[in-house]
Structure 1
Amino acid sequence: MYIDRIFQSVKALANTDGRGNFKPSTFNLHLYNSILEKFEGYVYDINQEVNRENRGLINGGLENIPDKIRQKVAHFLKSGTITHASGLYALPEDLRYFDTIVDGTDNMFETCKDMNEFNIIKSVNAAAQYPIYIKIGTNIKVAPSTITGNLIIYYLRNPLYPKWTFTVVDNAELFNPSAGDFQDVDMHPSEEDDLVIRVCQKFGISLKEPDLQASMQNQEQIEFNQNKST
C-alpha cells in the first residue's frame, strides 16, 4: 500500500536519526499537511512551467512538464450535480477550487469577482445563453434568474485525510489495511518520494537523497522477502 511504504520509510529514517518510534496519529497529520502543501503548489507549478513552455524552453510528449502536473491535478478533478433552492445553488462539501459550471445544454457560466460586477452584468445581459455566477459562502447565485434547473459543476475536491490503520500484536503496531477507517494516500503515486521527504522534515529529520534511496531499497528488500516466504 502507498501509505505503508511512506510510513515504513519514515520509520526507518526516524530510527536511523535516533528519534525512535512515533504515533500513527502524528504520522497521519504530518502526511496530510504534506499532501496539502503539494496540492496547493500545483497551480503555481503549472503557471511557472507554462511560462517556460511559451518561451520555447519545454519540449512536447513525455518531456512536457505542464502536462505531467495537470495529470497530477486531474487526480482531484470531480463533477457533481447542484440543485436550485431559495434562489441559490449549494456547493459540494468537498469543493476546494472551481473548474467549470455548465447547464443542461452545456452553456458555460462565467464567474464574477464581486457583487457589483455581478449586478452590472446581470442588468445588461438577460440571455440564458450567457449565464454568470458569484460565490456566496457555500453557495452560488446565478443570473439570469430564469435559470432554476440542475447544473453540473466540475471542480477540484479536497484531498482525503490519510489514515495508516493498525492492529496491536505483542505491543507492536502492525499495518492493517482491512480496517474500516483505512485511507490510503490520496495523491498521484509519483509524489511518494517527495512526501517521504516532507513528512521526515516535519518530524525534524534532516534528510539527504542517499538516505532516502537506501531506505527505499531496504523496504523493497523486506517486501520481496515477505512475498517470497508466503
Structure 2
Amino acid sequence: MAVLNKDNNGYLTPEEFNLFAKQAQLEIFEEYFYNYNNLLNKQNKRLTNTGYADLPRQLVEVIDTFTQFKALTLSTGSEQTFELPADWYTITYVNFKQTCGAVVTSNEAERISEGQINRLLSSNLTSPSKQYPAYVFSQQGLGVTEGPGTGTYGNLGNQITLYPAQAATCTLGCDLTYVRYPKDPKWTYNVVSGSPIFNQSATDYQDFELPFSDQVEMTLKILQYAGVNIREPEVVQFASGAEAINNQSES
C-alpha cells in the first residue's frame, strides 16, 4: 500500500488489508453479473462485436471459472431435503435423480416458489413428477408433508427440497451446478523485528481469485476502504476519481 503512505498516512495492518481485500473482491465479483446484463442489452441492440471484442463471451468465461458441480447430501431426518454448499452464490442447474434398483430417472428440476408449491401439490394434474420434478428453497412454512422432514422448519436459503418425494424402495439424489463466491483473500505473514513479512508458503495463504485484468480496480477499491478507515478524504477522492476514469475507459 505504497500509494496510501505517499503522504505519510501510514500503512495498513495485514488484518485490515485482508478485510478490505475481501470486500473489494466481493464487490467486483457481484458487478460481473450487472455488467453481463448491461452487455446483453447492448448485444440485443447490436452494439457489441465478435472475436476479441466479444465482451459478453469474455465475461461469461470469467464467471465460469467459479462454476462448481456437487452431489448434495440429504438433511438429517429427511428423504427429499438437501443441504446446499456454504459458498453458493447462484444456482444454474438442479438435477433430480431417483434410483429404483437398476432403473435411474434423471431430469432437471424446475425452481418453484414456496408460495406456489402448496397449490401445485393440491392437484394430481399439476403436482411435480419424476419426469417433471421441481424444487423449493428449503421446506420452511410448508404445510403439506411428503416424506420425513418436510413438515419441520428448515434453514431458509441453505437447503432445497425436491419434489416428488422418493418412492418406496427408491433413493433420491440431487446434483447441483452453481456459481460460488470467490474465496476470501488472505495475506499471510511472519513477524520479523516487529514488522510483518509476507509468507506465501503459509498453509492458509489465499491469493485473489479474480483475473489480472481486475487488478487496477481491485487496488482502487482497497484504497477507498483504506481512506475511509483512516478518515483521509484525499485518499478516497483519489481512488474514486481513478476508478471513475478506469470505468469510463472500459464503457
Provide TM-score, normalisation by structure 2: 0.73
Q: Aligned pair 1:157/2:147, yes or no?
A: no
Q: Aligned pair 1:170/2:193, yes or no?
A: yes
CA distance in 2, matches of 1:126, 1:49: 36
CA distance in 2, matches of 1:106, 1:13: 55
Q: Aligned pair 1:145/2:140, yes or no?
A: no
Among all aligned residue pairs of Structure 1 and Structure 2, give the percentage whose two residues are the same amino acid.
29
Counterpart of 2:172, as a letter, is G
Counterpart of 1:111, as a letter, is R
- Paired residue for 1:52? 42
User: Where do 5+ consecutive residues of structure 2 fail to align?
Assistant: 98-104, 139-155, 228-234, 243-251
Query: Over the residues paired in the alignment, what is the CA RMSD in angstroms?
Result: 1.8
Aligned positions of 1:123-142 closer than 5 A: 123=123, 124-136=126-138, 137=156, 138-142=158-162
Q: Aligned pair 1:77/2:79, yes or no?
A: no
Deviation at 1:107, TM superposition (A): 1.4
Aligned length: 198
Pair 1:64–1:106, CA change in 2 (3 A): farther
CA distance in 1, matches of 2:3, 2:183: 25
User: Where do 5+ consecutive residues of structure 1 fail to align?
Assistant: 1-10, 210-230
Pair 1:106–1:191, CA change in 2 (3 A): farther
Provide TM-score, normalisation by structure 1: 0.79
- Paired residue for 1:89? 82
> 1:103 aligns to what SS in structure 2?
strand
Q: Aligned pair 1:182/2:182, yes or no?
A: no
Aligned positions of 1:16-27 closer than 5 A: 16-27=6-17
Deviation at 1:55, TM superposition (A): 0.6
Q: Aligned pair 1:31/2:21, yes or no?
A: yes
CA distance in 2, matches of 1:191, 1:59: 22
Per-residue CA deviation, residues 124-181 of structure 1 (Å, 9 max, x unaligned), is 1342111110002121111112374221101111221111111222333221101121
> 1:31 aligns to what SS in structure 2?
helix
- Tell whether the 8 Å contact from 2:96 to 2:162 is kept in structure 1 after alignment: no
- Tell whether the 8 Å contact from 2:88 to 2:179 is kept in structure 1 after alignment: yes
Per-residue CA deviation, residues 37-91 of structure 1 (Å, 9 max, x unaligned), is 1111111111111010011000012111111211221121111001334131111
